[in-house]
A and B are shown apart, each in its own frame.
Chain A
């Protein structure tokens, strides 16, 4: 494998961090363009977030996709068409395992190995130090490029709630099985997809369920007009309807299907449709309508057995589950490499390409209004072609970089979204793919 006198010098090889969906597609697409790849995965198997056996997996027993199959699968490796519209998380894992086996990716992955630091060498290369997950001696190797695909849904973002609580508080990351909820009084905090799913689980298991959200959301049903809702929404995008018209249609559709949830006490959305990450749940309105879930406002403080809410009322749950999301974490990289601000928000071109380090790419750090896998696939195709162009035609690579770096953020992230940490990486999948397509076309050899 090593053709250099220094066994730690991997020359033109690329280092990929993580063997979840984004890492796997990075390995595949780099290999496809002829790159040697070493992928480091801290767990002992592939799948990342979708592998429930993994420490850092956020999936819970009942988790199903919220984007339908055609908008979720890798564009060059379809999920079986006999699968349901919205597969279960265990099916997604088996899909990723088959993807890895089908393309022979396993032999390029070092399992049980964690990247502890990655430092630029100054000549475009990277010194990557790895360690086996259980400890042990570390090892440093040199690579020509670094592709980071370590996921961004594993480091819990815990709300700061003042006071002491006598019951149990759990972040959704640690929630796995609805048996935990059986017969208990449960408060679920957070109105995102996970918060809604857990509230629905609780509605079927717990003796009492409160659902606390800071703001109102647009809760889209999974099916409209007899089709998966995202497929219907993409039809509107296909017709290039202006966003205002799409927002009007969205409001009409919600009015005709889910209906007005404020009559159950849910706050009205403080933003227009498409201005926050889509929350897709058909079951939340159902259980609200059956009185199994009581909507409550934001949590203000804990006080012994009680939880004090923003409207001054108090409730006494046994268990509080905070479904307040995750924050991105790159502990093996100095923050300036990603141009991260003081809040830890990286500033990357297309949320992928480091601005000052042309051999550093992050795959999968986007929140699309579709499945993530197609975007991660095309990001890694673009990364592989970019790294190849740097090698085969440096002058052209420089020209492409100059042109791309001049593009304003609005060129690839047109969505106006609610300004919260949750929406740092929010993109419209069609706009985003068009931007990647333009980058790919720019890198094509001149005809």
Chain B
């Protein structure tokens, strides 16, 4: 495949079938013209994982906030399809935020949809190798080149038991940057006591990018 992806036989001849997608939304009181933010959880979670802290915080700072539960059991292509379909259904060019294996769905979606910006939180980008434990037992995959060249931020923690600092560096380098680190936090950054720090940093970064 070249850097461009013009010939899409798979999508043309075998389109991903439609599915019901659950989207939790929280809109700010006033429309300040900010782009919508779409959160994508990893396989072990649903949209609810963002509902308690990150969704209200994002809406509180003036961004229309949405969280998607991709179809259950979907393969990586179907999960990325769900992200792109949801993003394209929102009224404005959307910011994609993926957590864990949700970041892999976002990375793949970036090859299809020109996001306004993207954030990969504690990203688990490889595909699991059957029979090996999750940690390290993954095939490295090269994410597609994002269309529309959006700014991409990688966020993580050196103390994450699932994603190593090396993997974070590698993920950030793939997008030409360095990861933004939050020492002392575990993998589930949006559920911890200090949940506010990373989301505030993400929204600060986003505000600077717009």
User: Hey, which bits of chain A sit against chain B, CB under 8 A?
Assistant: 32, 69-71, 75-78, 80-82, 98, 101-104, 230-232, 234-235, 237-238, 374, 378, 381, 430, 433-434, 436-437, 440-441, 444
A69, A103, A374: which contacts B93 (Cβ < 8 A)? A103
Query: What is the distance, in angstroms, from A39's C-beta to the closest C-beta of chain B?
Result: 18
B residues within 8 A CB of A78?
84-85, 88, 112
Residue contact A104 to B113, C-beta cutoff 8 Å: no
Query: What is the distance, in angstroms, from A249's C-beta to the closest C-beta of chain B?
Result: 15
Residue contact B6 to A437, C-beta cutoff 8 Å: yes
Query: What is the distance, in angstroms, from B81's C-beta to the closest C-beta of chain A?
Result: 7
Please report the C-alpha to C-alpha distance between residue A96 and residue B17 in the assembled complex, in whole angstroms.
22
List the B residue with the shortest CB-CB distance to A28: B114
Question: Which 9 pairs, one residue from A and one from B, show the smallest C-beta to C-beta distance?
Answer: A81-B18, A238-B9, A433-B6, A70-B15, A235-B13, A437-B6, A234-B12, A234-B13, A440-B4
Residue contact A81 to B15, C-beta cutoff 8 Å: yes
Query: What is the distance, in angstroms, from B198's C-beta to the closest C-beta of chain A?
Result: 28
Please report the C-alpha to C-alpha distance between residue A440 and residue B16 in the assembled complex, in whole angstroms.
28
A residues within 8 A CB of B18?
81-82
Q: Quick check: is B132 within 8 A (CB to CB) of the other chain?
A: no
A residues within 8 A CB of B6?
75, 374, 378, 433-434, 436-437, 440
A32, A80, A237: which contacts B85 (Cβ < 8 A)? A80
A residues within 8 A CB of B210?
none
Residue contact B2 to A437, C-beta cutoff 8 Å: yes
B residues within 8 A CB of A102?
88, 90-93
Query: What is the distance, in angstroms, from A79's C-beta to the closest C-beta of chain B?
Result: 8
Majority-rule SS of A interface residues: helix
B residues within 8 A CB of A237?
9
A residues within 8 A CB of B92?
101-102, 104
Known: A77-B88, A102-B91. A69 touches B148 (CB 8 A): no
A residues within 8 A CB of B5?
75
A residues within 8 A CB of B91?
98, 101-102
Query: What is the distance, in angstroms, from A236's C-beta to the closest C-beta of chain B?
Result: 9
Please report the C-alpha to C-alpha distance between residue A238 and residue B84 in the assembled complex, in whole angstroms.
24
Please report the C-alpha to C-alpha distance between residue A434 and residue B6 in the assembled complex, in whole angstroms.
7
Majority-rule SS of B interface residues: loop
Known: A76-B147, A101-B91, A102-B91. A437 touches B7 (CB 8 A): yes
Other A-B contacts than A430-B7, A440-B2, 12 sampled, CB-CB below 8 A, are A32-B148, A70-B11, A101-B91, A102-B88, A103-B114, A104-B93, A230-B12, A234-B12, A433-B7, A437-B7, A441-B3, A444-B3
Q: Quick check: is B207 within 8 A (CB to CB) of the other chain?
A: no
Which of B126-141 touch A at CB < 8 Å?
A: none
B2, B7, B9: which contacts A441 (Cβ < 8 A)? B2
Please report the C-alpha to C-alpha distance between residue A363 and residue B113 in the assembled complex, in whole angstroms.
21
List the A residue with the shortest CB-CB distance to B14: A231
Q: Quick check: is B166 within 8 A (CB to CB) of the other chain?
A: no
B residues within 8 A CB of A234?
9, 12-13
B residues within 8 A CB of A381?
4
Query: What is the distance, in angstroms, from B152's C-beta to the closest C-beta of chain A?
Result: 15
Please report the C-alpha to C-alpha distance between residue A440 and residue B3 in the assembled complex, in whole angstroms.
9
B residues within 8 A CB of A374?
6
List the B residue with the shortest CB-CB distance to A74: B88
Query: What is the distance, in angstroms, from A412's C-beta to the closest C-beta of chain B?
Result: 13
Residue pairs across A and B with Cβ atoms less than 8 A apart, 22 shown, are A70-B12, A70-B15, A71-B12, A75-B8, A75-B112, A78-B88, A80-B89, A81-B16, A81-B18, A101-B91, A102-B88, A104-B92, A231-B14, A234-B12, A235-B13, A237-B9, A374-B6, A381-B4, A437-B4, A437-B7, A440-B3, A440-B6
A residues within 8 A CB of B85?
78, 80-81
Query: What is the distance, in angstroms, from A27's C-beta to the closest C-beta of chain B?
Result: 13
Query: What is the distance, in angstroms, from A238's C-beta to the closest C-beta of chain B?
Result: 4
Query: What is the distance, in angstroms, from A363's C-beta to the closest C-beta of chain B?
Result: 16
B residues within 8 A CB of A430?
7
Query: What is the distance, in angstroms, from A306's C-beta to the closest C-beta of chain B?
Result: 48
Query: What is the distance, in angstroms, from B147's C-beta to the closest C-beta of chain A?
Result: 5
Query: What is the distance, in angstroms, from B111's C-beta to the closest C-beta of chain A?
Result: 9
Please report the C-alpha to C-alpha distance between residue A230 and residue B149 in the assembled complex, in whole angstroms.
31
Residue contact B3 to A69, C-beta cutoff 8 Å: no
Please report the C-alpha to C-alpha distance between residue A80 and residue B15 in the assembled complex, in whole angstroms.
12
Please report the C-alpha to C-alpha distance between residue A80 and residue B85 in the assembled complex, in whole angstroms.
7
Please report the C-alpha to C-alpha distance between residue A104 and residue B2 in the assembled complex, in whole angstroms.
29
List the B residue with the shortest CB-CB distance to A370: B12
Query: What is the distance, in angstroms, from A405's C-beta to the closest C-beta of chain B?
Result: 21
B residues within 8 A CB of A436?
6
Query: What is the distance, in angstroms, from A65's C-beta to the closest C-beta of chain B?
Result: 14
List the B residue with the shortest CB-CB distance to A32: B148
List the B residue with the shortest CB-CB distance to A232: B13
Please report the C-alpha to C-alpha distance between residue A70 and residue B2 in the assembled complex, in whole angstroms.
21
Known: A434-B7, A440-B4. A238 touches B13 (CB 8 A): yes
Please report the C-alpha to C-alpha distance between residue A102 and residue B149 in the assembled complex, in whole angstroms.
17
Please report the C-alpha to C-alpha distance between residue A75 and residue B84 in the assembled complex, in whole angstroms.
11
B residues within 8 A CB of A440?
2-4, 6
B residues within 8 A CB of A230?
12
B2, B14, B16, B113: which contacts A76 (Cβ < 8 A)? B113
B residues within 8 A CB of A70?
11-12, 15
